[in-house]
Chain A
Amino acid sequence: MQKNKTSLTMSQAVKIYIGSGFFKQTLQFTCIMTVIYVVTIAFFFLMICAESGFAAARNEVCESFMSNMFLAIDGGIGVALLSVQTFEKKLPGGKFFRSVKGGFDTYKKARTALVLSVIIGICLYIGIIGALNAVIPFMRYGAATCVSVAVFLLLGVGIVNLISVIKNDLARTLLSFMQMFGISLVGAFTVHITKGELGIVHITAAILAILLIPVSHKLMLASYRKRRWNT
Chain B
Amino acid sequence: MKKAIEIKGITKEYKDFTLGEVHAEIPCGFATALIGANGAGKTTLIDILCGVTGKTSGEAEYFGSMTDIDDDSLRNRIGYCSSANFFPMDWTLKTIANSMELGFDNFDRARFAELCKRFKLGDPAAKKQKKLMKLSDGNKMRTYLAAVLARDTELLVLDEPASSLDPLARDLLCDMFREYLSERDGERSVLFSTHNIADMEFATDHAIFMAHGQVIEQGFVEDLKQKYILVHGDGMIADKAKPLMLSFTGNKTSFEGIALAENAEMLRTYDTAIETPTLQQLSVGILRKAEENAEK
Please provide the chain B residues from 94 to 130 with a CB less than 8 Å away from any CB of chain A in the complex: 95-96, 98-99, 102-105
Given that A19-B95, A95-B82, A95-B86 are known contacts, is A103 also in contact with B103, CB under 8 Å in the complex?
no
- CB atoms of B75 and A15 under 8 A apart: no
Specify the main secondary structure of chain A where it touches its partner.
loop
Tell me how far the C-beta of B44 lies from the nearest C-beta in chain A, rounded to whole angstroms. 11
Q: In the complex, which of the residues A4, A95, A96, A231 contacts B54, with contact meaning CB atoms closer than 8 Å? A: A231
Q: In the complex, which of the residues A6, A89, A96, A98 contacts B72, with contact meaning CB atoms closer than 8 Å? A: A6
Interface residues of A, CB < 8 Å — how many? Answer: 31
Interface-centre pick from B75, B78, B99 (highest chain A CB count, 10 A): B99
A105 nearest in chain B by CB position: B70
Tell me how far the C-beta of B135 lies from the nearest C-beta in chain A, rounded to whole angstroms. 13
Answer yes or no: A100 CB below 8 A from chain B CBs.
yes
Answer yes or no: A102 CB below 8 A from chain B CBs.
yes
Answer yes or no: A12 CB below 8 A from chain B CBs.
yes
Residues of A within 8 A of B104 (CB): 100-101
Given that A4-B71, A4-B72 are known contacts, is A15 also in contact with B52, CB under 8 Å in the complex?
no
- CB atoms of A19 and B91 under 8 A apart: yes
Answer yes or no: B51 CB below 8 A from chain A CBs.
yes
- CB atoms of B87 and A99 under 8 A apart: no
Q: In the complex, which of the residues B54, B95, B103 contacts A101, with contact meaning CB atoms closer than 8 Å? A: B103
Q: In the complex, which of the residues B72, B78, B85 contacts A102, with contact meaning CB atoms closer than 8 Å? A: B72
Residues of B within 8 A of A16 (CB): 99, 102-103
Hey, what's the 0/1 contact readout for B37-71 against A, CB within 8 Å counting as 1?
A: 00000000001001111100000000000001011
- CB atoms of B102 and A93 under 8 A apart: no
Tell me how far the C-beta of B15 lies from the nearest C-beta in chain A, rounded to whole angstroms. 11
Tell me how far the C-beta of B112 lies from the nearest C-beta in chain A, rounded to whole angstroms. 15
Tell me how far the C-beta of A212 lies from the nearest C-beta in chain B, rounded to whole angstroms. 30
Interface-centre pick from A16, A96, A103, A229 (highest chain B CB count, 10 A): A96
Give the CA-CA distance A3 to B96 in the complex, in Å.
27
Q: In the complex, which of the residues B52, B70, B103 contacts A95, with contact meaning CB atoms closer than 8 Å? A: B52
Answer yes or no: A168 CB below 8 A from chain B CBs.
no
- CB atoms of B76 and A101 under 8 A apart: yes
Given that A95-B82, A96-B86, A101-B105 are known contacts, is A230 also in contact with B53, CB under 8 Å in the complex?
yes
Tell me how far the C-beta of A186 lies from the nearest C-beta in chain B, rounded to whole angstroms. 33
Specify the main secondary structure of chain B where it touches its partner.
loop
Hey, what's the 0/1 contact readout for A101-124 against B, CB within 8 Å counting as 1?
A: 111101000000000000000000
Answer yes or no: B80 CB below 8 A from chain A CBs.
yes
Interface-centre pick from A20, A95, A98 (highest chain B CB count, 10 A): A95
Give the CA-CA distance A174 to B96 in the complex, in Å.
31
Residues of B within 8 A of A99 (CB): 50-52, 75, 78, 80
- CB atoms of B52 and A230 under 8 A apart: yes
Give the CA-CA distance A13 to B78 in the complex, in Å.
20
- CB atoms of B99 and A92 under 8 A apart: no
Answer yes or no: B176 CB below 8 A from chain A CBs.
no
- CB atoms of A3 and B53 under 8 A apart: no
Residues of B within 8 A of A47 (CB): none
Interface-centre pick from B71, B86, B88, B96 (highest chain A CB count, 10 A): B88
Tell me how far the C-beta of B62 lies from the nearest C-beta in chain A, rounded to whole angstroms. 14
Tell me how far the C-beta of A1 lies from the nearest C-beta in chain B, rounded to whole angstroms. 9
Interface-centre pick from B53, B71, B72, B89 (highest chain A CB count, 10 A): B72
- CB atoms of B87 and A96 under 8 A apart: yes
Tell me how far the C-beta of A67 lies from the nearest C-beta in chain B, rounded to whole angstroms. 32
Residues of A within 8 A of B81 (CB): 96
Answer yes or no: A170 CB below 8 A from chain B CBs.
no
Give the CA-CA distance A89 to B70 in the complex, in Å.
17
Interface-centre pick from A15, A92, A230 (highest chain B CB count, 10 A): A92
Q: In the complex, which of the residues B51, B53, B76, B98 contacts A15, with contact meaning CB atoms closer than 8 Å? A: B98
Tell me how far the C-beta of B5 lies from the nearest C-beta in chain A, rounded to whole angstroms. 15
- CB atoms of A3 and B71 under 8 A apart: yes
Residues of B within 8 A of A231 (CB): 53-54
Answer yes or no: A2 CB below 8 A from chain B CBs.
yes
- CB atoms of A3 and B102 under 8 A apart: no
Interface-centre pick from B71, B88, B91, B102 (highest chain A CB count, 10 A): B102
- CB atoms of A92 and B54 under 8 A apart: no
- CB atoms of B51 and A103 under 8 A apart: yes
- CB atoms of A3 and B95 under 8 A apart: no
- CB atoms of B72 and A19 under 8 A apart: no
- 13 more contacts with CB within 8 A, not counting A16-B103, A103-B75, are A4-B71, A16-B102, A19-B88, A89-B52, A95-B82, A96-B103, A98-B51, A99-B50, A100-B103, A100-B104, A101-B72, A101-B105, A230-B51
Binding site for A on B (CB under 8 A): 47, 50-54, 68, 70-73, 75-76, 78, 80-82, 85-89, 91, 95-96, 98-99, 102-105
A-B contact pairs, 29 of them (CB 8 A): A6-B72, A16-B103, A19-B88, A19-B91, A19-B99, A91-B88, A92-B86, A92-B87, A92-B89, A93-B86, A93-B91, A95-B86, A96-B81, A96-B82, A96-B86, A98-B53, A99-B75, A99-B80, A100-B103, A101-B75, A101-B76, A101-B103, A102-B72, A103-B51, A104-B70, A106-B103, A229-B54, A230-B52, A231-B53
